[in-house]
Amino acid sequence: MKIIVCIKQVPDTTEIKLNPETGTMIRDGVPSIMNPDDKGGLEMALNLKDQFGAHVTVITMGPAQADQILREAYAMGADRAIHLTDKRFAGADTLATSNALAGALRMLEYDLIITGRQAIDGDTAQVGPQIAELLDLPQVTYVEDLQFANDTFTIKKANEEGYQIVQVETPCLITVLASANEPRYMSVNGIMTAYQKEVEVWGFDNISVDETKLGLKGSPTRVFKSFSKGAKSVGQKYEVDPKMAVEIIMEKLKEKFII
Amino acid sequence: MDQSLYKNIFVFVEQRNGQIQNVSLELLSKAQELNEKLNEQVVAILLGNHMDEQAHELISYGADIVLYADAPEFSIYNTEPYTQAVNQLVQSYKPSIILIGATTIGRDLGPRLSARIETGLTADCTALEMGDDGHLLMTRPAFGGNLMATIVCKEHRPQMSTVRPGVMMKGLKDISRKGNVEKVNIQFDSSKFKVKILETVKETKNLVDITDAKILVSGGRGVGNAEGFKKLNELAKTLRAEVSSSRAMVDLGVVSHDRQVGQTGKTVRPDLYFALGISGAIQHLAGMEESDFIVAINKDKDAPIFQTADLGIVGDVNQIVPLLNEKLQKEMK
């Protein structure tokens, strides 16, 4: 079985703080991590490798520093890593990103393509299904668990009210939730060898995609403006003993006619 | 692309077990508001099986036209039949805007459809308005809610957007509204139907929807564990409230995901929101900051939640909550 996992390097948005006066983002010192849903997807692929001896390729699109998450993937147990990077890919919205990734994926063999459900910097959840469409593959999103037998995946797919059990044959694409599993740690041996292994760097010339479909040029959507939400007027804050605290809360609830 | 050929607002109507989902009614209402500037028509797209009655009801909520496709393939949502259907309707009717609920269904359908149509899609919008130049302005949070971005799709049609449930206001049902239901036929290419749904399981724990609650008692890391969370359950019972939580408690397995508030959970706007032991990560704030009145209790006096709270108490939830519950029980007798 050949599996390709699409991963993305993202700022750890849980570490971003807002300047309370201006309401603007403080980006300095925010660490970059492998997107949590993607890491869940990689773990799922490595599980299939443990069970069936699958070959796992990881691919990312991003600037030079994204090399770091490919090394991390090697250290976790991936077999091959591809870094898609070119200034002609820059400024891409989700569709242009999907065009580039699908272009690279067309150059590879696969039975299963895995993406995370969504990336924590954009939260769009679009790239997985868009790649599936561009490659004419069936998709299953919000995957929590999967079993494999007779070229068929039996999948537990989460929704708001519970879950569905669905079946799909290879080749197919799934998008995985971070909550699906507990990603393994990088192995000591893996860390030692991760930087000796080759990360293949691919650019525009490695994929056959029309330049007008890539980067900013190939993006139907544009950011018209961006703004911070601004600081909200701060309410009252009390540092008192528990008894007093209860009195204050009770008073407020009465004032608001809640009790 | 001749954009003048593209007219009218499509609203994809989501149904589960033949029940129209609230988010679709919210979108019909929003579409009518956008249409005040456009003066075109609001077209509801309903894919279902034996849903004639519900199809007519959509008119009372703001649809001018309902395009209703009735087929067994539509009884349960499945990516490919739904994508084929909406794509065919888009090709023949050429809408300028498509609105879809940002549910697990809408977020599966939307991107698949956008790639098939080759147009832009803006996900999880929190505000929509018509710009002066006739383009739709789609505002959404980015960087986990740290930044708001307004997105436009100028060169492509239709302009597609998904909107989270609970963000737009549902309009009142107006049975005097006039409109037409048109039955449409879809030509399927069933050779592409490759995902088979074996079973749909509703988990009973999910029966209460926290987005409907008037009062929410919400707990975070500061509550500690399941034992600590019991105190919140008791407080909720006294207040006839529902419990919800930040992501931390869901990750610990104390609370089920359907009760998670925030960027990867639900957006809530209750009359009263208790943020108990919740530090106020921006992802959480994104899901609850529209609440009418927010009471926060946290040990850390610098916790960001205090910037959003209307009333902040620096202290230990595990001490204060039982006392508060006791006091409330006495008062409410």
A228 located within any domain: no
Instruction: Give span(s): CATH 3.40.50.620, chain B.
Output: 3-192
A57 located within any domain: yes
Chain segment B214-255, per-residue pLDDT in tens: 899 999 999 999 999 999 999 999 998 999 999 999 988 899
Share of chain B above pLDDT 70, in %: 98
Say if B213 is an interface residue toward chain A (CB within 8 Å): no
Q: Are A48 and A79 in contact (CB under 8 A)?
A: no
Number of A/B CB contacts below 8 angstroms equals 252
Q: Are A139 and B79 in contact (CB under 8 A)?
A: yes
A164 located within any domain: yes
**Residue B258 — φ and ψ, nearest 5°?**
-70, -10
Residue A21 has pLDDT above 80, yes or no: no
The pLDDT of residue B204 is 61
Give the separation between CA B33 and CA B134, rounded to whole angstroms.
14
A252 located within any domain: no
**Cβ–Cβ of B328/A16 closer than 8 Å?**
no
Give the separation between CA A101 and CA A104, rounded to whole angstroms.
5
What residues make up the domain containing A20? 2-213
Burial status of residue B177 (CB atoms within 10 A of its CB: 0-12, 13-18, 19 or more): middle
A231 located within any domain: no
Band the pLDDT of A227: cuts 50, 70, 90: confident
Residue B61 has pLDDT above 70, yes or no: yes
Residue A28 has pLDDT above 80, yes or no: no
Q: Which residues contact B192 (CB under 8 A, 6 or more apart)?
A: A138, B80, B84
Measure CB to CB from residue B258 to each of A140, A154, A160 and give the nearest one. Answer: A160
Q: Which amino acid is at A11?
A: P
Both tokens assigned to B111: 């991107």
The pLDDT of residue B60 is 97
Give the separation between CA B104 and CA A229, rounded to whole angstroms.
27
Task: State whether residue A35 is helix, strand or coil.
Answer: coil
The pLDDT of residue B206 is 47
Chain A residue numbers with beta carbons less than 8 Å from the beta carbon of B141 are 123
Secondary-structure percent of chain B, ordered helix, strand, coil, rounded to 5: 35, 30, 35
Give the separation between CA A84 and CA A88, rounded to whole angstroms.
11
A98 located within any domain: yes
Indicate the pTM of the whole model.
0.83
Both tokens assigned to A47: 């599980």
Chain A residue with minimal CA distance to B116?
Answer: A133
Residue in A246, A250, A251, A259 to test binding to B, most B beta-carbons within 10 Å: A246
Residue A257 has pLDDT above 90, yes or no: no
Give the separation between CA B92 and CA B83, rounded to whole angstroms.
14
Chain A residue with minimal CA distance to B124?
Answer: A124
Chain segment A177-201, per-residue pLDDT in tens: 998 999 999 999 999 999 999 999 9
Which CATH number fits the domain B204-331, given the four candidates 3.40.710.10, 3.40.50.2300, 3.40.50.1220, 3.40.50.720? Answer: 3.40.50.1220
Q: Which amino acid is at B63?
A: A
Band the pLDDT of A231: cuts 50, 70, 90: low
**Sign of the dihedral through C-alpha A180, A181, A182, A185:** negative
**Cβ–Cβ of B320/A240 closer than 8 Å?**
no
Chain segment A136-183, per-residue pLDDT in tens: 999 999 999 999 999 999 999 999 888 999 999 999 999 999 989 999
CATH class for domain B3-192? alpha beta
Instruction: Give span(s): CATH 3.40.50.1220, chain B.
Output: 204-331
Chain B residue numbers with beta carbons less than 8 Å from the beta carbon of A28 are none
Chain centroid to CA A251: 45
Give the separation between CA A186 and CA A184, rounded to whole angstroms.
7
pLDDT, mean over chain B: 93
Domain count, chain A: 1
Chain segment B253-291, per-residue pLDDT in tens: 899 888 999 988 888 988 899 999 999 998 899 899 888
Chain segment B157-209, per-residue pLDDT in tens: 999 999 988 888 889 999 999 999 999 999 999 999 999 999 999 876 545 68
Give the separation between CA B162 and CA B123, rounded to whole angstroms.
5
Residue in A137, A221, A248, A257 to test binding to B, most B beta-carbons within 10 Å: A221
Band the pLDDT of B105: cuts 50, 70, 90: very high
CATH of the domain at A48: 3.40.50.620
